[in-house]
Chain A
Amino acid sequence: MSKTNISKEHAKYLNKIKKRRRYILIVQISILILGLILWEVAAKLKWIDVFLTSYPSGIWTLFLQYLKNGNLIYHVGISVFENIIGFTAGTLLGILIAIGLWWSDFWARVFDPYLVVLNSLPKTALAPIIIIWIGAGYSGIIVTAITVSIVVTIMNVYSSFISLDKDKIKLLETFGATKFQILKKVVLPHSIPSMISTLKVNIGLSWVGVIVGEFLVSKAGIGYLIVYGGQVFKLDLVMMSVFILAVISALMYKIISIIEDKFLKWNE
């Protein structure tokens, strides 16, 4: 609303809220900075063994070095590529299968126990099998990433499909809608919020698939850097990779959130 004519009391109230928000942000940032400083000081004063823990300035130097020689872009690029393909394919395939289950109640019932078992199975246990079957390159890693996210997608999206009010379908039927029109006009749009929230979960799940895949057959990627760093006891490298992973997955999550806001403006 317009800011021109607000009462003094309201201005005070707004000010209080803004102040509180600012404090929260300041404390959040301070925790990060203090943590890093403490870590650095502890390392410098030899309170901790830097061979095991590494230290912030060392990680930063390594980061700049990797950035300069292009290694960083290369490894991060490969992992991000595998991840994006993994979660998009996992989400899309999952939605397609969910549509199939919605279309045929018979098959939905047939597959139900299989989905329940697959859902409770830790999918990373399948990674070695997948890599043997598909191959030890990108494709094996991508398929691992898809496997991790697809079952959850099917279950979430399907349950959103069938949670739709039956009268909404009846309404379309009174207009003479075909099954395909019912899918397109009400079932899919009704489930868009659930699809987007599944997509958000899938980014994280797909990272699990990518990193586990790279652990197993690493030639390149962030998972490779972590495993390699661990094997040669270069903790700088391991820590740097983990930080980068955290930053990138947070960024991707944020991007999906922005897309979500654009898509769901009716939901405000």
Chain B
Amino acid sequence: MGKRTMVEIKNIGMTYHTFNGETEALRNMDFHVYEGEILGIVGPSGCGKSTLLSIIAGLIKPSTGEVLVNGKKVVGPTKDIGYMFQKDHLFEWRTILQNVLLGLEIQGRVKEEDVKKAEKLLETYGLAEFKDSYPRQLSGGMRQRAALIRTLIVEPNLLLLDEPFSALDYQTRLAISDEIGLILKKEKKTALLVTHDIAEAISLSDRIIVLTKRPATIKDIIEIELTCPGGEWSPIKCREAPEFRHYFNKIWKELDVHV
């Protein structure tokens, strides 16, 4: 990997103001994301992980600092950045095909070739026969796959994944995270993956940032090097790597969970 820096997060800080006071969510965030890598972000719940993604996506303005994507400062949402949510948020009144085309529609450019492209993506990811179905007719895993296609079709260079598997049941979650990991690598996407599932983060990520409790600061950045059995990379197989347990313990200790 020729490590070209794609995203630079420079001294990001965020303070929320409400009538009852102020909450500092993020403090002195400084890191970068290399092109083509999956960067995992783990941290205690409620530590401001989602806030960080919203800032990178240009949806909210940070109190301090700035975000650069490919050298350009982020000032608002751009089609360079795709976002995936915890829930699939497919619109119940649209068919799967119409849902997939939503982003292009917003950007005002649904042409015939876009529809073809959408149909092709649906076929590649096993949803071809459901293109005219409504979301409620699909299983949770299929819905999340449709949501990923909706994000991918606008061709973002950077994907922000905000706990995208946590609404799924455990088996589906393993299968879909494996599948989406493979898709991200195949499409050579750069991705930031926020999760509270340590194992999921290790199996998918090239590096992992561990955050502290609120106000979140960076506690550690860990390079993940797994020797996956069989040689072929796949998140599920990588869980069998001998180093896996070591990373798991390291991150668990750093998260310093007390209940």
Residues of chain A having any CB pair with chain B under 8 Å: 165, 167-168, 170-177, 181, 185-186, 189-190, 192, 264, 266-267
Contact = CB atoms under 8 A, between A and B. Distances in A.
A173 B87 CA distance: 16
Interface of B: 54, 57, 59, 76-79, 81-83, 85-87, 89, 91-94, 102-103, 105-107, 134, 136, 154
Contacts of A172: 102, 106
Contacts, number: 58
Of residues A181, A264, A266, which shows the largest number of chain B Cβ atoms within 10 Å of its Cβ?
A266
A176 B89 contact: no
Given A176-B77, A176-B78, A266-B134, A171 B107 contact: no
Contacts of A170: 54, 59, 83, 85
B89 A165 contact: yes
Contacts of A176: 76-79, 106-107
B102 A175 contact: yes
Nearest to A182: B106
A171 B77 contact: no
A177 to B, nearest CB: 5
Nearest to B160: A174
Nearest to B136: A266
Contacts of B82: 174
5 contacts: A167-B89, A170-B83, A174-B83, A176-B107, A267-B93
A192 B94 CA distance: 13
Nearest to B135: A266
B106 A185 contact: yes
B91 A186 contact: yes
A175 B93 contact: no
A189 B59 CA distance: 23
A168 B89 contact: yes
Closest 6 CB pairs of A and B: A174-B83, A175-B106, A175-B103, A266-B134, A177-B106, A176-B77
A267 to B, nearest CB: 7
B59 A167 contact: no
Where chain B touches its partner, the secondary structure class is loop
Contacts of B77: 173-176
A259 to B, nearest CB: 15
Contacts of B106: 172, 175-177, 181, 185
A154 B85 CA distance: 31
Given A189-B93, A266-B92, 19 more contacts: A165-B87, A165-B89, A167-B86, A168-B89, A171-B83, A171-B89, A172-B102, A173-B59, A175-B79, A175-B102, A175-B103, A175-B106, A175-B107, A176-B78, A176-B107, A185-B102, A186-B91, A189-B91, A267-B92
Contacts of A168: 89, 91
Contacts of B59: 170, 173-174
Contact of B93 (A165, A173, A177, A192): A192
B154 A171 contact: no
A192 B81 CA distance: 31
A172 B77 CA distance: 10
A192 B91 CA distance: 13
Given A165-B89, A186-B91, A174 B102 contact: no
Contacts of A267: 92-93
Contact of A167 (B79, B85, B92): B85
Contacts of B81: 174
A174 B82 CA distance: 7
Of residues A176, A185, A190, which shows the largest number of chain B Cβ atoms within 10 Å of its Cβ?
A176
Given A165-B89, A189-B93, A174 B105 contact: no
A172 B107 CA distance: 10
A190 B83 CA distance: 21
A173 B82 CA distance: 11
Given A167-B87, A167-B89, A192-B93, A175 B154 contact: yes
A173 B79 CA distance: 10
A168 B76 CA distance: 17
Contacts of B136: 266
Nearest to A265: B134
Contacts of A190: 91, 93
B147 to A, nearest CB: 9
A41 B54 CA distance: 76
A41 B154 CA distance: 76
Contacts of A177: 106
A190 B91 CA distance: 8
A175 B92 CA distance: 19
Contacts of B103: 175
A170 B57 CA distance: 10
B105 A185 contact: yes
A180 to B, nearest CB: 11
A165 B154 CA distance: 23
Nearest to B85: A167
Contacts of B91: 168, 185-186, 189-190
